[in-house]
Amino acid sequence: MKVKISSISYHLPEKTEGLDDLQRDNPDWDMPKVFEKTGIRTRHIASSDQTASDLAYIAAEQLLCGTQIRNQIDLLILVTQSPDYLLPTSACILQDRLRLSQNCMAFDINLGCSGFVTALGIAGGLIESGVVNTGLILCSDTYSKYISEHDRACRPIFSDGAAAILVERTAIDCMGPFDFGTDGSGFEHLIVRRGGARETIKLPGYSQPTLEMHGSDVYLFTMRVVPACIVKLLARAGLSSDQVDLFIFHQASKLVIDSLIRLMSLDKKKVFLNHEFIGNTVSATIPIALRDAVENGLLTTGQTVVLVGFGVGLSWSAVLLRWAM
């Protein structure tokens, strides 16, 4: 596609939780073992009155402030599994809050860890086909609102945060090929059961929606699909892994990414990691990592980067980019 990422901004809530906080609330947890598996020291937590759309708004304003691009945006995609309401779509609320043109297509994508690459494919296709000209992708989740303080599987991993990504037409091929996949048979391995139409909320006696994760099943799914996905993607591009300058995986955990590196015999120096002091921000991990890689000088114009998302759904997505930001 002759479409590129023009700029990225992100926002993380001020409140943080570290390993000491987890230990205080859970004296029986073996914290060295927890850190060995997750590789995460610090996570960011949204305040009780702060939603995913609030975080997305801040990230978007950081990106748009001082630019002339606001009135040119005619596509807004919000990737979130923490919407303000069951309906309407939170993207419509953000269109008005961000003062975007009313000639703007706006919708949510209910995907998590694979959602950014999916949104990139949709935005790129709409721009390439001439339906729209300039797209704003917002990725924002507040999984912390679904997690019990005593949940050993989820609490040490998931973090709240948002990213804003501007996507525009360019003169050269920058984006693609893509690879997408879904295995819906594993939908219960990462799920929030309450709040949807299938399990109707009943008041009084309503209980808080709670995230359930079967970590071992999600891990096995990832090890099964991601290496094959990358092999397929590189074959379509006519490249070998040695010709890729940087790999950015969804920042799931140290255990997951270390296992992928080992399975695919990747050069560790070519795999970007930033989860230690940010955590797993779900849909926002890849764009946050992209911005950090650029800021750290590890990704520059003309280089080739492979992005891979995987998780809730169960689903996966990957794309090869010729970096042009």
Q: Any idea which residues carry the catalytic annotation?
A: 113, 250, 280
State the burial class of residue 307 (Cβ atoms within 10 Å of its Cβ: 0-12, 13-18, 19+): buried
Beta bridge partner(s), residue 44: 16
48 and 140 Cβ atoms separated by less than 8 Å:
no
Of the candidates 213, 280, 232, 286, the one whose C-alpha atom is nearest the C-alpha of residue 253 is: 280
Rg (CA), the chain: 19
Tokens read off for 77 = 């995609």
List all residues 6 or more positions away from 33 whose beta carbon is below 8 Å from its beta carbon: none
